[in-house]
Structure 1
Amino acid sequence: MLATLLAFLGACTLIAATPGPSTVLIIRNSIHSRRAGMMTVLGNETGVFLWGTVAAFGLTALLAASQLAYDVMRWVGAAVLVWFGVQALRAARRGTAAQFADRAAEEVTSWRAYRSGLLLNLANPKAGVFAISFLPQFVPASAPQLATTVAFAALWAVYEVGWYGVYVWFVGRLQGVLSRAGVRRRLEQVSGTVLVALGIRLAMEH
């Protein structure tokens, strides 16, 4: 079991280290505040745990097997990504130092940050399909399949909270530089463009 856990954590490290939409959103919200960044992380990892639990019950197999279900989820996920990207681009276009500070206080509340992380994760059908292909590989044949898979899903989520927490901490350390209006505007432009591009890519995938 120890060897299995080490292999699992190694795989989780590779997954977390691979940049994706969640990484972009976590960094973007962390620029506003560490609290917003951590709440985005918690929302994202709630999604990871839910996908893992659904995979444990075999329900994500339906998503993998049904082209229609996958396509519907794919278009929803693409719309969510594009929506987040457009929000970032709009913020960059109308932002000044004072406006950025006001929006950080008013718009990126803890609940809103948590909801954005959760929504972005749950709207990604690839996350569900990946969970059902990833988690069962590490469940020993002699172990209770359902309970062990859920436990691994929880471990996966907790591990990524720590991993992405480092991102939030690092962005917080650079807050003095990142709070400048010009830097903030450029980061909003970059994150918005990346999110829109990822949404378009997801929409065009088969």
Structure 2
Amino acid sequence: MEGVTLAQLGLFVATLSVAILSPGPGILAVSHAAFSMGRRGALPYALGLALGASLWCLIALLGLTVLFQTFPLALSAFHVVGGLYLLWIAFKMWSHAADPLPEPAGAGRGLAAGMALNLSNPKPGLFYASVLLSIFPDLRGIGATASVYAVALSVELFYYLGLASVLSAAAIQARYFAAKPWIDRIAAVLIAVLGLLLILRH
């Protein structure tokens, strides 16, 4: 693969792994989905989160994130819209914290919701753009580009689906059920803070 070495791919995987596991909207969302909906309900949501995040990699590979640098107002608008979306999610989570658990959403709705959450936040796109430029400065050709995207998609799927599976274990779910109102409110506050930071940093 022209412009890509195994060492570069290894560094890419390590960097991406640390970024995914850092506390953020995606991790909070997949954790909450696993706790509240179980494996059956959380896996489509986790799949949507992974696909949404990996689409930012594809966008960066295609050079479309350059538009954000060319048109700063577009990035600012994206930050505000993404932040408002996170605040809306936080509001819904807080207002329904004391409610009984709803029926899990269908696979299609869960998939779409997961994709929407990660696509509403431009930070993964900017992260991918900077990481790709620093790790793969000479990336050329369809084969090399496809390989890098395949690695990114695989890593995103591994962590999001893995977390959804592990955190939906019966013992963990039982503890969540016992403390649902507090856990949901804490998660809502954290997501709201992330949404506000996204807006304020535009």
Whether TM exceeds 0.5 here: the answer is yes
Q: Distance in 2 between matches of 1:59 and 1:88?
A: 33
The CA deviation string for residues 91-126 of structure 1, in whole angstroms up to 9 with x for no partner, is 114x1xxx22xx1x15x3322222221111111122
Match for residue 129 of structure 1 among 101, 126, 130: 126
Q: TM (normalized to structure 2)?
A: 0.87
Match of 1:77 in 2: 82
Match for residue 58 of structure 2 among 50, 53, 60: 53
Task: Report whether the alignment pairs 1:110 with 2:107.
Answer: yes
Match of 1:6 in 2: 10
User: For the aligned residues, what is the CA RMSD?
Assistant: 1.8
Match of 1:43 in 2: 48
Match of 2:161 in 1: 165
Task: Report whether the alignment pairs 1:29 with 2:33.
Answer: yes
Contact 2:61/2:129 (CA < 8 Å) preserved in 1?
yes
Q: TM (normalized to structure 1)?
A: 0.86
The DSSP-based 3-state class of the residue aligned with 2:198 is: helix
Q: Distance in 2 between matches of 1:71 and 1:18?
A: 23
1:145 CA drift (Å): 4.3
- How much identity, in percent, do the aligned residues show? 25
Could you list the runs of 5+ residues in structure 1 that have no partner in the other structure?
none
1:6 CA drift (Å): 1.6
Q: Distance in 1 between matches of 2:15 and 2:134?
A: 11
Match for residue 17 of structure 1 among 12, 21, 33: 21
How many residues align? The count is 195
Q: Distance in 1 between matches of 2:126 and 2:70?
A: 10
Q: Distance in 1 between matches of 2:201 and 2:52?
A: 22
